[in-house]
């Protein structure tokens, strides 16, 4: 959950309505199929989708790292076939290693992909794969196919749905060719996919939250095919944009897992150290935190409660703006609204319904801003008491609770001559499991390291919150 309200997030509730409606057999009307017949139309649709992706996923705020990825992308794009799109490259603030492309040349590489990569060749091959999707118009075709599916539109974003295996193989082949033409070793794709497969295997037996960036199936087979293909591609090495050590040093301080600045989930409790609040969702509900909102779904998937910023407004004003921007557009009817006193302060409540869905929205004042707590229930499911009881758990974080908040960040450590990864892990206080440490560095655990060898480790430290001041309160 963000500290700032991103443009367009007022419509996030529509996605929740679609999911709950689907669970009880009621489908909202599909959006019109986008018109992507020309490169200009692709660029227009892609630009809009890119803004949506940045709002929903977040982007890594590192000018140096973003400039580096963009430089690799531009070098590859010069060799891309077909229409000369103005390719743009972003680093999605997502822990899982993956990437995706939007129509018109908008390419996203996840933070997790950079952590998994150990060379510029690997990064270049992953970007080449996504450029191949754009140049071959796979992303445009996929968006048109998925446009008629309102559930995918609302909850996954259509451009993130998986390509079929034939398109994946095609993008692998073209992407490796682009990498070779740009002076990169095409074996980089096989190395990345092999590391991805090893990372997944190292996580087996442990819980892993599925990411909706998991768009590329068949890792083992694709890795083998990429290795065979690389051996037959002629290429000439060009100087890298950054040497291997410089690349690794750019990863210093990068978040591992979910950054505490977006809020953290502990059981049924959500904590946001920067905004200084905590809230309890119903026990046993599945909680998911995104840059757009934090929400909880009931076990039977018939009821949803989500918390968002309502903006730097008084509760009644925030409620009115939300009604105008969201509820009227979605066809919801208002059944009631009015002030509610909570712990000596006045909140505002709005109730309504649409297509068999019950809606209960609370606009809660907190430290000069307003939070919107939205409950949606299908059929006869009760919602009012659940939302009210959740709303009344919104509290400031205590110093004792804040002191328990930690986060992990990447540190680039220098090996001492002859020590192993196991010994380096112990010396540096690395927080990654040893198998994960080995995979992320592409090194065996027990082999001696040369002196000065740079190694990625994860360090866990107490989180230092960045308080929101009036000047940096959530903006419209």
Q: Where are the domains of the chain?
A: 31-243, 262-397, 405-462
According to the model, what pLDDT value does residue 171 have? 92
Task: For the chain, give the mean pLDDT.
Answer: 83
Give me the mean pLDDT over the 299-306 stretch.
Answer: 91
- The answer on pLDDT for 91 being more than 50 is yes
211 vs 16: CA distance, rounded Å: 18
According to the model, what pLDDT value does residue 139 have? 59
- The answer on pLDDT for 372 being more than 90 is yes
Give me the mean pLDDT over the 288-306 stretch.
Answer: 90
According to the model, what pLDDT value does residue 342 have? 86
Give me the mean pLDDT over the 63-82 stretch.
Answer: 96
Residue indicated by tokens 């208002």? 334
Angstrom distances, CA of residue 105 to CA of 89, 102, 332, 467: 8, 6, 36, 37
Which tokens sit at 288? 């998911």
- The answer on pLDDT for 31 being more than 90 is no
Residue indicated by tokens 């190395």? 191
According to the model, what pLDDT value does residue 128 have? 97
Give me the mean pLDDT over the 366-376 stretch.
Answer: 92
Q: Which residue has the higher pLDDT, 351 or 215?
A: 351
Q: Which residue has the higher pLDDT, 399 or 469?
A: 399
Nearest to 97 by CA among 86, 112, 117: 112
Confidence of residue 141 (pLDDT cuts 50, 70, 90): low
CATH superfamily ID and name for 262-397:
Mog1/PsbP, alpha/beta/alpha sandwich (3.40.1000.10)
CB–CB of 310/370 below 8 Å? yes
According to the model, what pLDDT value does residue 220 have? 84
Give me the mean pLDDT over the 141-164 stretch.
Answer: 42
pLDDT tens-place string over residues 250-269: 999 999 998 898 899 999 99
172 vs 63: CA distance, rounded Å: 28
Residue 79: Cβ-neighbour burial (10 angstroms; 0-12, 13-18, 19+): middle
Which tokens sit at 214? 């998991």
pTM for the predicted model, two decimal places: 0.81
Q: Which residue has the higher pLDDT, 141 or 102?
A: 102
Share of the chain above pLDDT 70, in %: 80
Give me the mean pLDDT over the 32-53 stretch.
Answer: 79
CB–CB of 39/104 below 8 Å? yes
């Amino acid at each position: 959950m963000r500290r700032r309200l991103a443009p367009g997030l007022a419509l996030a509730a529509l996605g929740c309505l679609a999911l709950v409606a689907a669970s009880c057999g009621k489908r909202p009307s599909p959006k019109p199929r986008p018109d992507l017949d020309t490169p200009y139309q692709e660029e227009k649709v892609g630009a809009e989708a890119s803004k949506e992706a940045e709002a929903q996923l977040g982007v890594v705020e590192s000018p140096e790292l973003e400039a580096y990825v963009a430089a690799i992308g531009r070098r590859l794009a010069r060799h891309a076939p077909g229409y000369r799109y103005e390719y743009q490259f972003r680093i999605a603030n997502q822990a899982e290693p993956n990437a995706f492309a939007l129509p018109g040349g908008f390419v996203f590489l996840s933070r997790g992909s950079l952590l998994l990569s150990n060379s510029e060749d690997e990064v270049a091959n992953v970007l080449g794969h996504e450029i191949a999707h754009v140049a071959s118009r796979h992303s445009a075709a996929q968006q048109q196919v998925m446009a008629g599916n309102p559930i995918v539109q609302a909850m996954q974003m259509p451009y993130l749905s998986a390509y079929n295996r034939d398109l994946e193989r095609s993008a692998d082949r073209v992407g490796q060719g682009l990498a070779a033409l740009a002076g990169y070793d095409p074996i980089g794709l096989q190395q990345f996919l092999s590391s991805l497969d090893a990372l997944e295997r190292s996580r087996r037996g442990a819980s892993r939250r599925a990411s909706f960036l998991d768009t590329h199936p068949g890792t083992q087979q694709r890795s083998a095919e990429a290795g065979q293909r690389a051996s037959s591609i002629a290429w000439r090495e060009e100087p890298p944009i950054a040497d291997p050590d410089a690349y690794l040093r750019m990863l210093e301080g990068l978040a591992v897992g979910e950054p505490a600045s977006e809020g953290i989930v502990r059981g049924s409790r959500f904590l946001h150290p920067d905004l200084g609040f905590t809230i309890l969702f119903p026990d046993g509900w599945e909680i998911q935190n995104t840059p757009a909102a934090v929400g909880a779904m009931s076990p039977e998937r018939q009821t949803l409660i989500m918390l968002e910023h309502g903006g730097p407004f008084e509760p009644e004003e925030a409620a009115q703006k939300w009604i105008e921007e969201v509820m009227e557009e979605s066809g919801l009817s208002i059944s009631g609204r009015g002030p509610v006193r909570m712990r000596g302060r006045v909140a505002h409540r709005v109730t309504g319904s649409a297509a068999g869905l019950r809606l209960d929205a609370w606009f809660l004042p907190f430290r000069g801003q307003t939070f919107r707590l939205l409950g949606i229930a299908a059929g006869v499911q009760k919602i009012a008491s659940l939302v009210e009881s959740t709303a009344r758990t919104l509290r400031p974080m205590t110093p004792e609770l804040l002191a328990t908040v930690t986060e992990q960040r990447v540190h680039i450590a220098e090996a001492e001559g002859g020590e192993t990864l196991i010994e380096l892990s112990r010396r540096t206080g690395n927080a990654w499991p040893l198998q994960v440490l080995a995979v992320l560095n592409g090194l065996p655990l027990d082999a001696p390291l040369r002196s000065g060898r740079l190694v990625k480790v994860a360090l866990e430290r107490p989180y230092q919150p960045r308080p929101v001041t009036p000047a940096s309160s959530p903006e419209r």
